Amino acid sequence: MNKETWELLPFWFPKSQNSRNWAFVFILLTILSIDWWNWESSNRLGNWIPDWIIYLVIIQFVLAYSVWKFSKVFNPIIIEREFESCSEKQLIKETYETEEKEEEPELKEEETIEDTDDSDKKNITNIYISDSVINRSIIGEKDDKDE
Amino acid sequence: MNDLLTIGIILAIYLAVSIGIGIYGRSKEDNAEDYFVASRKINPWVLFCTLAATNFSAFFFLGFAGASYRAGWGFYGIMAMGTSLVGLSILLLGVPIHKLGREKGYVTPPELIAGETNSKHLGWLYGIVLVVFTLPYLATQPMGAGILLETLSGGEIPYFTGALLLTCVMIVYLVLGGMKSSAMTDVFQGILMFSILIIFVIGFFIHEDIGGFSEAGQSLWDNKPDKFVREGNFTWEIIFSFTILWPITVPMFPQLFSRFYIAEDDKAIRTAAWLYPTVVPILFLFPVIIGVYGNIVDFDHTLSKTESDNILPLVLTEYAPLWAGAIVCIGAIAAFMSTADSQILAMSSIITKDGLPAITEVKEENEKQIGRILIIILAIIGLVLAYNPPDTIFDIVSQAFTGLAVLFPTTVAVLYWDRVRANSCIMSIIVGEILVGWSYWSAETGNAIPEWFTQGFHFSTPVILVTILVLWISTEIEERLTDNASS
């Protein structure tokens, strides 16, 4: 599915094939937890606990296992929006911290790409780091430091 | 020893330990971020304990047992699967919220929503909804404490005195410590409440008057077989509604949402996410068992709806010695306090960081102090609301939960949809809350919500669907209008 197509999908629709597979697993478990075929059952285990409770407990353990597996591959895309999303104070603070750490902007971008292994990922660029890079470029600070 | 003195000594020991842990874990740094989000340094196990203890409240101890007394084992179906699915919500929402919080310095839920949509108005609306619908839920915590102490002491500790006492203790460690104290006491209170609950249930069944699991089961089956089946108590539509309501509404609790910020890294959230559905299936059995088998106490007398919230202390006074009953009550009180302190702290941070700056200038160095004052004010509001409770705990929370669930589509859209528009989110929340208001009005006037709207499901299901549709369609319309205007 190309970028234009999935951008038109509603926000709740899983974007990648991997996400759709996991969505199928969790929806299936949710549906299976409503065991309407056994709704009127009054069978009991050991006389005191209904069979359907045991079934529901097992479904939940399968869910726990699925969440555990999913938690290992889940890597959400953090959307970077184009407007200024923090207060000016925050901007100054971030810019200051960025400069203080002497981070390489190119390296930061590479790290971000590595973080997202999803095929539908977007390149995330921190707007504040970008601003600071522009400022550095204008005043030539970056080049000086590199040297 | 005098009964009141026994209860008093056990209660005093518990409260002293809680305050001690709260003081030990208190915020050492003098800034608002440390006070409200514990400097974002909470490890996976503490995070899991604080998430669980915060979520399992008076509703878990008394509300579950009361509803299970009335509706039987079917109530496990209402609660368990949906709460296990909360683990999935913790993962899907917690990880991006944590990353954004760390990257952009967000401390409260409305800050994130406003920041990511560039809309202060959406942030305010989001914050107002959070506070308005958390207050009734907050009131259920002192309510639970009051009910418990009054029943256990045979009326010697009046309902409101019990509620007041526990609220005061909570204020002390919250004002002193903030989020770090709240998380540390949650670990203590969480372990205490679960271990006591498990021991009590086992103790109940091996009691000589009960005669073991099998005998108790047969006795209940002979007298009230309807408690074992769902048919007649709940339809599958209702159970399905609650199964999807819990994972939608629980992460919207401000006290849960705020905890996504405090994790030391996203691995902590991933760990908490799978631990959650691992413990819920077993843990939720215990209050349900107490409620269902509470019917054994007196088959001839059925408690009224409101009285049934008392089933746990009633079973205690019937089958446990006073000291044991007092210890179980401490477990329940731990559940109330661990939820209430987190609710108050979360609301205090929302008002300090989002509400007050809209009205007046708030200096950063004063935020911690303002947060402390608000903690006292909010605790008093909770007490006032609990003074004369109108409904059962379950009725109060299920209405509050639907009001918070309305925020879920907006939150997901803000985190995952780059086309999201603030106006569409505002529209979605307003339409959703109008529908929730309609449900309140219907409950007050006795006019049932029409069948064509609910189709047999709980009211929350169509409300959530409508809010999703409004958000989606209004975004499409707004985009087209903007495109037309620009072309």
The 8-class DSSP code of residue B42 comes to B
Residue A114 clears pLDDT 50, i.e. is over it:
no
To test the contact with chain B by mutation, choose from A37, A41, A48, A83 the residue with the greatest count of B C-beta atoms within 10 A, namely A48
Residues 6 or more apart whose CB falls under 8 angstroms from that of B305 comprise B70, B392
Q: Output the six-digit token pair for B442.
A: 């219907």
pLDDT band for position A82 (50/70/90)? low
The three-point CA angle B38-B43-B48 to 5° equals 100
Establish if B427 belongs to a structural domain: no
pLDDT at A111 over 70: no
Cβ–Cβ under 8 Å, residues A105 and A133: yes
Which site among A13, A67, A72, A131 would you substitute to test the B interface, given the most B Cβ atoms closer than 10 Å to its Cβ? A67
In a domain, B233, yes or no: yes
Residue B456, chain A, CB below 8 Å: the answer is no
Asked whether B55 and B209 are in contact (CB, 8 A), the reply is no
| Closest residue on chain A to B82 (Cα) | A30
Name which of B150, B190, B202, B199 is nearest B55 in CA terms.
Answer: B190
Instruction: State how far the Cα of B284 lies from the Cα of B278, in Å rounded to an integer.
Output: 11
Helices (H), B153-226: 159-177, 179-205, 213-223
pTM: 0.83
- Is B51 within a domain? yes
How far apart (Å, rounded) are the C-alpha atoms in residues B83 and B251? Answer: 11
Give counts: helices (H), strands (E), chain B.
25, 0
**Structural domain contains residue B409:** no
- What residues have CB less than 8 Å from A79, skipping those under 6 apart? A122, B116, B415, B416, B417, B418
CB contact under 8 A, B228 and A78: no
**Chain A partners of B469 at a C-beta cutoff of 8 Å?**
none
Q: How far apart are CA A72 and CA B474, in angstroms?
A: 35
How many domains does chain B contain in total? 1
Cα–Cα nearest to B47, from B101, B87, B105: B87
Shortest Cα distance from A141 to chain B (angstroms)?
A: 24
The shortest C-alpha distance from A121 to chain B (Å) reads 12
Q: Which of B99, B104, B214 sits opposite A47 (nearest CB)?
A: B214
On whether the CB atoms of residues B337 and B141 are closer than 8 A, the answer is yes
Q: Which two tokens stand for residue B137?
A: 């839920």
Residue A123 pLDDT class (50, 70, 90 cuts): very low
CA–CA separation, B339 and B293 (whole Å): 26
Is B320 within 8 Å of B203 (Cβ atoms)? yes
> Nearest-CA distance from B21 to chain A in Å?
31
What residue of A is the nearest CA neighbor of B83? Answer: A60
Q: Pick from A48, A79, A94: which is nearest to B217 by CB?
A: A48
Say if residues B435 and B458 touch (Cβ distance below 8 Å): no
In a domain, B320, yes or no: yes
| Tokens 């202390």 found at | B313
Specify the CATH number for the domain of residue B276: 1.20.1730.10
Chain A residues inside the 8 Å CB shell of B244: 30
In a domain, B185, yes or no: yes
- Asked if the C-beta of A74 comes within 8 angstroms of chain B's C-beta atoms, the answer is yes
Nearest CA in chain A to B410: A11
HSE of B357, CA atoms in CB hemisphere, 13 A: 19
| B372 near A CB under 8 A | no
Nearest-5° angle of CA B327, CA B331, CA B337?
A: 130
Which residues of chain B are within 8 Å of residue A112 when distances are taken between CB atoms? Answer: none
**What is the Cα–Cα distance from B76 to B64, expressed in whole angstroms?**
8
Pick the residue of B416, B468, B476, B478 with the most A CBs within 10 A to test the interface with A by mutation: B416
Angle at B17 between CA B13 and CA B20, to 5 degrees: 140
Task: Answer whether B287 touches A (CB < 8 Å).
Answer: no
Reading the block at residue B38, the tokens are 């514990």
Indicate the pairing of strand A49-50 with strand A44-45: antiparallel
What secondary structure letter does DSSP report for A44? E
**CB crowding B162-189: b at 16 or more within 10 Å, else e:** bbbbbbebbbebbbebbbbbbbbbbbbb
Q: Which residue has the tokens 């099998």?
A: B214
ipTM (interface predicted TM): 0.89
Q: Taking a C-beta distance cutoff of 8 angstroms, is the pair B171, B19 a contact?
A: no
- Which residue in this structure is represented by tokens 């509706």? B71
Minimal-distance CA residue of chain A relative to B270: A71
Report how far residue B249's alpha carbon sits from residue B241's, in angstroms, rounded to the nearest whole number: 12
The pLDDT of residue B4: 80
Partner B contacted by A56 (CB < 8 A):
yes
Query: Chain B within 8 Å of A48 (Cβ-Cβ)?
Result: yes
B281 and A61 within 8 Å at the Cβ level: the answer is: yes
Domain membership flag for residue B312: yes
Check if A3 contacts B (Cβ < 8 Å): no
**DSSP β-bridge partners for residue B201:** none
pLDDT by residue for chain B (487 residues), tens digit each?
577 888 888 888 988 888 888 888 776 666 777 778 887 888 898 999 989 888 887 778 778 899 999 999 999 999 999 999 999 999 999 999 999 999 999 999 999 999 999 999 999 999 999 998 888 888 888 888 888 888 778 888 888 898 898 888 888 878 877 888 888 888 888 888 888 888 888 888 888 788 888 999 999 999 999 999 998 889 999 999 999 999 999 999 999 999 999 999 999 999 999 999 999 999 999 999 999 999 988 777 778 877 787 888 888 878 878 887 888 788 778 878 888 888 898 999 999 988 888 888 888 878 888 988 999 999 998 888 888 766 666 666 667 788 999 999 999 999 988 888 999 999 999 999 999 989 888 877 888 888 899 999 999 999 999 999 999 999 989 988 888 887 7
The one-letter code for the residue type at B107 is: V
Q: Is the minimum CB–CB distance between B280 and chain A shorter than 8 Å?
A: yes
Residues of chain A contacting residue B48, judged by C-beta atoms under 8 Å apart: none
Whole-angstrom CA distances from B467 to B421, B424, B428 are 14, 10, 5
Q: Which B residues 310-369 touch A at CB under 8 Å?
A: none
Q: How far is CA B6 from the centre of its chain?
A: 30
Distance to chain B for A77, nearest Cα, Å: 7
**Structure tokens, B285:** 């059995």
In this complex, is the C-beta atom of B419 within 8 Å of any C-beta atom belonging to chain A? yes
Quick check: A19 contacting B, CB < 8 Å?
no
Between chains, do A33 and B213 touch, taking CB under 8 Å as contact? Answer: no
Question: Nearest Cα to B249, choosing from B68, B76, B122, B432?
Answer: B432
Parent domain of B370: 3-394
B146, part of any domain: yes
Q: Find, in chain B, the residue whose alpha carbon is nearest to that of A73.
A: B270
